[in-house]
Structure 1
Amino acid sequence: MKKIVITLLCTTLILTNVVMMNSEVQASEDGTVLFEKGIVDELSPQPLVNVAIEEKNERFIAETDESQVMIPKDMEEPTILSDNEEGQSLSMQVNLDEKQNETISAEDTVVYETKNTSLGIDAFDGGLRHTYVMENKEAPNTFEVKYDADNISHPELSKDGEGKTDGSILIYDKAGETLAALDIPWAKDANGKDVC
C-alpha cells in the first residue's frame, strides 16, 4: 500500500475538511472549551452540519446515508472514512508529536487533548473535519497527516477551469479517479484574524 503524507503549516487554529468523492480563539480557554462552545464552527468559513457521534467498542462512530467515520480513542490509531455507496475507505493517521492526555466527546466532536494542542475530529454527511487548536507558544506549528487506502495513488492541488489553484487538494486512486478531496485549510490567531 502506498501512503500519502500531507503536512499543514500554520499558526493557532487550522481546519481541514476531508470529503469522499462520488470565534474567536481565546488564549485563556483550552481546545475542549472551544469545541463545547461551538466557537470553531463560528470561525469556520464553511460551517458544517455535524453528524451525531456514538461511542462503540473503543471507537467513536458517526454514520450517515453516504458515509461512516470511525474515530479511535487513541490518536495513534487511524481515523477511517468509508463511502457507503462505492465501498471505498480512506484512513487518516495524525501525528501530533505529543503524548495524548485524554480523549473526550464535546458537542459531537471527538477531542484529543495533549499538553499544548487539542485536535478535534467531527463528521458531516460524506466526510470529516480535523481542527487543531494550538493552546500556547510551545505548541507545534506543523501537523502531519498520513492518508492511506488500498488503491491510493497521489495528491494534486485542485485547479479551476483556468488552471488556478486555491489550496484545496485532490487525492487520486490508481485508476486516475478522485478518491477524496481536502478543502482549503484556514487558520485564525487568538484574536480571530486570518493567518494563512
Structure 2
Amino acid sequence: MKWIIKSISFIFHPIVMPILAVHFYFKKSPRFIPEDLVYAKLVSLFILSVILPILVYFLLKTLGKTESIYLKTTKERVLPLLVNCLIIGLILFRLFPLSQIPELYYFFIGVLISSITCLIFALAKFKASIHLTATGGVFMFFIVFAIHFSININGSLALMAIIIGAVATSRLYLKAHTCKELIMGLIIGIVPQLVVLQYWL
C-alpha cells in the first residue's frame, strides 16, 4: 500500500504537470495547429521542464545543496524553485510567446506566479505543497479552457479532481506536509490561473 501511495507522488510530480497541461491543450483545442509544430513544442517542453530540472537536481545534490529529491526543508527548496522560475521564463520566451498560443502563454504566466509565490514562502520558512500547487494550477486551467472553447471535458475534470485528492492523500500519508501546507499549495496553484484568465478568457 505504501508503495502505491508513494508512486502517486512520483507519477504526478510537479515537473510532469506542465507537459500534461500542454498535451491536453493540443489534444482538445479546436484550433488547427500543425502536427510537426505540436511535436516540436512537446519535445522542447519535455527537455526544459523535465530533463533540465532533473539534471539541475543532480548538480545541486553533487554540490551538497540538497539532500534528497523530496526537498524536505524550506532551505533545500530555495535554489530549485529559483531555477524553476528561470526555466519557466525561458519556456515563455522561447516556446510559448504571446503571439503564438496565448492560452498556453497565460497558463505559464500563472505557473510562473505560482513558482515565485512558492519561492517567497520557502524564503519565509513555510513549506507550501508544490505537488498541490502544480495539480491545482492544471485543474483550474482545464476549467478555464473548457469555458473558453465551450467544450465539455467533464471526464477530464473529474479525473483531475481525483488526482488532486490522491496526491493530497499521498503527501499526508507520507507525512511530507500538513493539511495547512496542502491547502496553501492548492490556493497558490489555483489563484494565479484565476488572475490571468481575464487576459485570454
Q: TM-score, normalised by structure 2?
A: 0.26
Q: TM-score, normalised by structure 1?
A: 0.26
RCO higher in structure (CA 8 A, sep ≥6) = 1
Higher strand share: 1
